[in-house]
A and B are shown apart, each in its own frame.
Chain A
């Protein structure tokens, strides 16, 4: 039972997974249950974006149905909702910087060692990095890849996939999810190379910007590549 509890190690992976289910997470305003029912893992993720109209009322309605612990993911700009959450007994536990990169600022032209087709090694690496305790099934992963605008990118060292991520194209923006680097290849430039390759690929597809949600550990890495912080998501939990 315990392995199904969200914690700071796996919450972001969940959020990635939740966001990847685009049809259930339109504009970050829908209640999101990545599983099929209220008892699935995670039990509750709720996101808000620009419109905070009736947020409190909607939150109260939702909270009547969920089991705790429950998590709320919210843009830190919504000060009044932050206070409401506090008064409802929610506690902020994480901050995820929203990061943005304008592609036109980049002149990289790499396409080396890059893979853009499904390879079971990519799923294995993503599972190892983000979903160790509850791996994504191949069928589900292929379903994601079949969604409009979804692509997978991987980097090879010889015949081994050492870095990978999923991307979703929406209009002229590309969202990056599930960034994964093999443990033995971390800190050696493979993640950077992967992003440079993706940027290079974007230039041929009329994509103008990249966005992603970082966390406190990875924000420095993305800044070095050229991403800047455009805002923050706060993660609240109630036991």
Chain B
């Protein structure tokens, strides 16, 4: 796991109030009960703030899994 992956998993775990070990790269709202649309919005906001970036609207919509978020952060950074 690289640094960005670890940081994003920590952010997601913090917002969803789950253990980092409960999250996988493919985790999403479909697999994690707490990950509803409000939590999703919080996750995206927190990631933007942490990395000091601004995602494109369509990029945000396409991000479903932790892996998607990681890849989009790497693309934007």
Which A residues fall within an 8 A CB radius of B? 5-9, 11, 69, 76, 82-83, 86, 91-95, 234-235, 237-239
A11: B residues at CB distance < 8 A = 37
Which B residues fall within an 8 A CB radius of A? 29, 36-38, 40-42, 44-45, 57-58, 60-61
Cβ-Cβ contact count across A and B, 8 Å cutoff = 43
Please classify the interface of chain B as helix (H, G, I), strand (E, B), loop, or mixed, using the class held by over half of its residues.
helix
A82: B residues at CB distance < 8 A = 57
Cross-chain pairs A/B with CB under 8 angstroms, 10 sampled: A5-B38, A7-B36, A8-B36, A9-B36, A76-B58, A91-B45, A93-B40, A95-B61, A234-B61, A237-B37
The answer, among A92, A95, A239, for a CB contact under 8 Å with B38, is A239
Chain B residue with minimal CB distance to A89? B45
Shortest Cβ distance from residue B46 to the other chain A in the assembled complex, whole angstroms: 11
Say whether A237 contacts B57, CB under 8 Å: no
A238: B residues at CB distance < 8 A = 41
Shortest Cβ distance from residue A56 to the other chain B in the assembled complex, whole angstroms: 16
Say whether B37 contacts A8, CB under 8 Å: yes
Say whether A94 contacts B37, CB under 8 Å: yes
The answer, among B36, B41, B58, for a CB contact under 8 Å with A91, is B41
